Amino acid sequence: MEVEMKIRGLMMDPVTNMPIVVLKDVQGQAILPIWVGVYEANAIALEIEKVQTPRPMTHDLLKNVLLGLEVRVQKVVVNDLKDDTFYALIWVERDGQMMTIDRGRAMRWRWRCAWIARFLSKTKC
């Protein structure tokens, strides 16, 4: 069963001094804290506050690549917890077709950069 959640905020764990992203379901009944790294928390905080950085960050590059390929992220589904690490599927849509990106597929993307380059060369820049 999927539960739609939004970012409620960021906080610091007083014991570990690690950042926590606090997710809250849209119905307001459940909260899911996810411990993240400092860099990830900083990127989320910048986005929440709509702060413009002097140069694009890594997630900005990914966002721009997806926009250039006319791919829209529809949702992110946390689907596993192993060794205190959450794993998720990223659901994307292009031309009415839905597909998921998981960590395995993301690794394969690295090897398919040639395909992306070929695709981009056929599109107008």
Query: What is the per-residue pLDDT across 22-61, written as a single tens digit (0 to 9) for each?
Result: 989 888 888 989 898 898 898 889 888 888 889 888 888 8
Looking at the chain, the whole-number percentage of residues with pLDDT higher than 70 is: 82
Alpha helices in 25-95 (DSSP H): 38-48, 58-68
Alpha helices in the chain (DSSP H): 38-48, 58-68, 103-111, 113-121
The pTM score is 0.68
Q: Among 123, 59, 121, 67, which residue's Cα sits nearest to residue 93?
A: 67
Residue type at position 61: L
Q: What are phi and psi of 121, to 5 degrees?
A: -65, -20
Taking 80 as the threshold, does the pLDDT of residue 124 lie above it? no
Q: What is the CA radius of gyration of the chain?
A: 17
The pLDDT value given to residue 12: 95
